[in-house]
Amino acid sequence: MSSVFDYSGLLNEVVQECRKHAERGQLPSYIPELKKADPQMAGVAMMTARGLFEAGDTRQNFTLQSISKVFSLLVALERRGVEVVFAKVGSEPTGDSFNSIVKLETSEQKPLNPMINAGAIAVCSLIPGASVEERFSLISGLLESILDRPIEIDEAVYLSEKETGHRNRALAYFLKDINGLEGDVEEVLDLYFRQCSILVNCADLARIGMFLAAKGINGAGTPIVSANAVRLVSTFMVTCGMYNGSGEFAIQVGIPAKSGISGGILGVVPGQYGLATYGPALDRKGNSVVGISMLRRLSDVLDFSIF
């Protein structure tokens, strides 16, 4: 693309065109607080070497949810090392939904990958620290050094999930039983629910995407995590970042991406830009309908598939 390409014009067009697809999706019902979102919202942001471009509801805050799995994995890889992490979690896609319990017993006795809930909970248990606060500060600190601002959580979402996260609780206790989880189960769950409740908007997510696109270097040019950790995490984003929708997404969009149940998607075009979309209505796999359609459209126009 030439340096004068009108990214703002393109993003505006894409939001207008794709917003209508919200009718094809639904708000998640299993975390009561998330049902309060406005399904008509749609935002898209792109962080490039030329700066931030955005269109639609890009300043609406939402919780990271599963997108947080990217950051706890980065912290665990950096603090505990590749071997310790892969002793507790595998690296294969599951083909099942993100909160499925079924393969835990029938496969290798460890979660198949760190992007499903079971895997992310196992990864959370590896984050070092004397208290949940101390462990959480490693995750929030990573985000603070990328975004250069303090991180907050949505207290209501955190409490809602803590109260109703029965399936995550079941996954965590099962993991404990098979020696898949370090430390106290309730503390690990608390950390997981906190990281899921971190508040961001599309503009933040696009910056984070650019940080990953730049192999772990923040906007000020400071290396924050190793290029190898970013490589591993980006690979998981390609193979498992959209759960059991990852294969179709790789064909249609073709970039490392991670979705969350509150409707955000973080996208990375390696070496080029960070992308972010928001649209709370979800498809049956738990991915944002509007977000995927916006990313498909952008991939068609900008031809950024890595494949």
Q: Which one, 65 or 72, has the nearer CB to ligand GLN?
A: 65
DSSP one-letter code for 271: T
Residue 261 DSSP SS3: coil
Q: Which residue from 53, 62, 98, 273 is in contact with ligand GLN, where contact means CB under 6 A?
A: 98
Smallest gap, in angstroms, from Cβ of residue 125 to ligand GLN? 15
Binders in 195-254 for ligand GLN, by CB under 6 A: 196
Name residue, tokens 């269109």. 55
Among 111, 119, 216, 286, binds ligand GLN (CB under 6 A): 286
- 161 binding ligand GLN? (CB under 6 A): yes
Out of 168, 218, 246, 277, point to the residue binding ligand GLN (CB under 6 A).
Answer: 168
Q: How many residues bind ligand GLN (CB under 6 A)?
A: 11
Cβ contact 125:111 at 8 Å? no
In this structure, what is the dihedral angle of CA atoms 67, 90, 235, 56, given to the nearest 10 degrees? Answer: -20
User: Within 13 A of 260's CA, how many CA atoms are on the CB side?
Assistant: 31
Helices and strands (H, E) in the chain, number of each type? 13, 7
Give min distance, CB of 107 to ligand GLN, in A: 20
Residue 272 makes contact with ligand GLN by CB under 6 A: no
- Verify binding: residue 25, ligand GLN, rule CB under 6 A: no
Residue 281 makes contact with ligand GLN by CB under 6 A? no
Interface residue with ligand GLN, options 39, 56, 241, 260 (CB under 6 A): 260
List residues bridging with 265 in a β-sheet: 259, 277
Is the Cβ of residue 53 or residue 62 nearer to ligand GLN in the bound state? Answer: 62
Parallel, antiparallel, or unpaired: how do β-strands 62-63 and 51-56 relate? unpaired
Residues 181-200 that bind ligand GLN (CB under 6 A): 196
Angle at 177 between CA 185 and CA 30, to 5 degrees: 55
Binding footprint of ligand GLN on the chain (CB under 6 A): 65-66, 98-99, 117, 161, 168, 196, 260-261, 286
